[in-house]
Amino acid sequence: MSPIAHIIAQDPVGMKQLRAARSLALPDWCIAAGFVRNRVWDHLHGIHPPREPADIDVLYYDQADLSKETEQALEDRLSALEPAPWQIRNQARMHVWKGLPQHKSTSDSMIFWLETVTAVGVRLETNDSLTVIAPLGTDDLLGLRCCPTAYGRTRLDEYEARIANKGWRELWPKVRFVD
């Protein structure tokens, strides 16, 4: 089991949220961003139990239905099943607001996030194993190093503002922030 999967598997709240998301049977899905990053960095900082992220980002990829209404209906279903600050987004439509070519998959869409440490997700498989989705790797996340992605390097002002606005330097003082 990967170190990230091991950290997530030890968190009963996170596992309950993964089971709830799995029940939607979404195509090419995972829970990513703060759900993973926060738990890993809290673990590496000795913070137990981990702090909950501001929202829980459920990603999926479905070219057949690009409507925001479907995402809202899925959030409503998930909230009824497991109350939490869910944010469900179909990655097949996320390229539009960034002015990019259409993404090929959930993993492909994560390449266009601002930080490498956020572009890590986990999926709970039907056999209860965890799959880590990390198109840019996990070295930065596990190494307590926050770096912009190639896309993020074209938007360094957004990258820096996001880190400052979310207070990551204060929350995780062992993390080295790179620009």
At residue 95, the pLDDT reads: 85
Taking the C-alpha atoms of residue 96 and residue 117, their distance in angstroms, rounded to an integer, is 23
Q: For residue range 102-141, list pLDDT tens digits in order.
A: 899 999 999 999 999 999 999 999 999 999 999 999 999 9
Is the pTM value of this prediction over 0.85?
A: yes
Is 97 a residue whose pLDDT tops 80?
no
Is 99 a residue whose pLDDT tops 90?
no
| CATH architecture assignment, domain 3-177 | 2-Layer Sandwich (3.30)
At residue 113, the pLDDT reads: 96
At residue 75, the pLDDT reads: 97
- Of 161, 171, 140, give the one whose Cα is nearest residue 42: 171
- Secondary structure element (H or E) that encloses residue 32, with its range: strand 30-32
- What are the boundaries of each domain within the chain? 3-177
- Secondary structure element (H or E) that encloses residue 4, with its range: helix 3-9
